[in-house]
Structure 1
Amino acid sequence: MSDFYAETRAIVESKANTLSKYTYDTYLSHLRKLQMYRPTAECRDITEAFVFGYIDFMHARKNSAGCIYRSLSILRMFIRELLRRRKMRRDPMRDFPLKKVRNRREFLEIDELEKLYSGFRERSEQLNFSEREALRAFLFSCFTGLRFSDLRALTPHDIHNGKIRIFTQKTGAQVYIPIPAQALALLEGTGETALHVVDNSTFNKNLRAAAKKLDFHSHLHAHIARHTFATSCVSFGVPIEVISKVLGHANIQTTLIYANYSNKVIDREMEKFKINVPAG
């Protein structure tokens, strides 16, 4: 008999030298999630019933459709590698209808971003340290497009003459980001760590608490900031190629998913559609 979790961890460790730190940590995180669902399991226990039970477990935890898709994709990768290593005899997900979910992208309109930024600058004394630092980091991401993992890793040494130059945590891509004056102001007095960013779950909890105290009622979470940056750039007419470069995307199609057009931009642009004939 083969222990499913021991074998799966061995797979992850065998790939450690070829994976980015972000991907490596993601695989281990999903392995821990599987163990929360079923603390012990042999490879022979990974059946269709196991998979459907895992889905029910994620629904009970109110995981989003996109989160469930990613979790199942990683489970499928684990299973296929175990099959290749002859640790499993059959694939319980062979006929599984796994379809990618295209999430609705959330972002702040420019006037909402202005309101939140002004609230932080004028009323930050109403927030405790954790709330203040979460909102500071969130706003910094809104102005720079940094991923959450890159916010956590950012140090003053990554900033030169008002520009960020880093290799991203997720893909290792090199990015160059000119920092707007509003974002530079957020870094004043932050010390050696640049930004104080905790784990994602705690960060989001502190962020929402800060927004509530500032009478900002939109539901906020860390990734909205990156979407807001991309959408704001589109609103200001920044070429999509430049946005893609700043975000560190290898494929411009990825940028097009992030770069939503707000209703205000659509209204403004459609005003250009004018034909010189009488209406009616």
Structure 2
Amino acid sequence: KVMLTMESRIHGDMYVRFGGRLVETYHRKVEKRCWPSLLKELADICGIKKKLTYHVARHSFAVTVCLENGIPIETLSKVLGHTSLRVTQAYAKITYKKIMNDMGILKDRLEY
């Protein structure tokens, strides 16, 4: 919902800076100085009271959006612009949801 809200609000090319690299995501470059207002808008849309920072958003994207949804850590490492997989592993907290999902996959495989 949030991404669709942002997509409908932002027209043209949008770029996001990850690890010093510019990654094209939509249609225009988002200047670093614009991130605080964009994150505040996202927090308001989602009803989040805590102040969101670029680092919190990046970390949440890595763990909650990517890793918990099965994106391989090697892929995430490239998306984040990390030069080493070890750097990405700092983001890779194993969450309860991920453990339960992985064990469910193992259970399904062992039943056949």
In which range does the TM-score fall when normalised by the shorter chain?
0.5 to 0.7
Gap runs ≥5 in structure 2: none
- Structure 1, unaligned runs of 5 or more: 1-114, 125-131, 155-163, 165-178
> Helix, strand or coil for the counterpart of 2:32?
coil
Aligned equivalent of 1:264, options 93, 97, 103:
97
1:240-263 CA-partner distances (Å, limit 9, x unpaired): 233323333333222111123443
Aligned partner of 1:239 among 59, 69, 72: 72
**Deviation (angstroms), 1:222:** 0.6
The reply to whether residue 195 of structure 1 matches residue 30 of structure 2 is yes
CA contact (8 A) 1:230 1:243 kept: yes
Q: TM-score, normalised by structure 1?
A: 0.30
Q: Partner of 1:30 in structure 2?
A: none
Separation in 1, partners of 2:99, 2:67: 11
| Structure 1 Cα separation of the partners of residues 48 and 58 of structure 2 | 19
**d(CA) in 2 for partners of 1:197, 1:248:** 16
CA distance in 2, matches of 1:244, 1:121: 24
| Distance (whole Å) between structure 2 residues aligned to residue 212 and residue 243 of structure 1 | 24
Q: Give, in whole Å, the separation in 1 of the partners of 2:70 and 2:43.
A: 32
Distance 1:222 1:267 in 2: 29
Equivalent residue, structure 2, for 1:17: none
- Distance in 1, matches of 2:56 and 2:97, equals 18
Q: Which amino acid aligns with 1:195?
A: V
| Contact 1:249-1:255 within 8 A present in 2 as well | yes
In 1, distance between residues paired with 2:47 and 2:94?
Answer: 22
Give me the whole-angstrom Cα distance separating, in 2, the residues matched to 1:228 and 1:212. 13
Match of 2:45 in 1: 214
Distance change (3 Å), C-alpha of 1:244 and 1:209: closer
Q: How does 1:26-175 map to 2 (within 5 A)?
A: 115-121=1-7, 124=9, 141=16, 146-147=18-19, 150=21, 154=22, 164=23
CA distance in 2, matches of 1:237, 1:272: 12
Instruction: Choose between structure 1 and 2: higher strand proportion.
Output: 2
In structure 2, distance between residues paired with 1:215 and 1:233: 19
| Residue identity opposite 2:6 in structure 1 | F
For 1:235, the aligned partner's letter is E
Asked if the contact 1:116/1:216 (under 8 Å) is kept, the reply is no
What is the RMSD computed on CA atoms of the aligned residues?
3.4
Post-superposition shift, 1:120? 2.7
Matching residue's letter, 2:88: T
Q: Rg bigger for which structure? A: 1
> In the comparison of the two structures, how many residue pairs are matched?
104
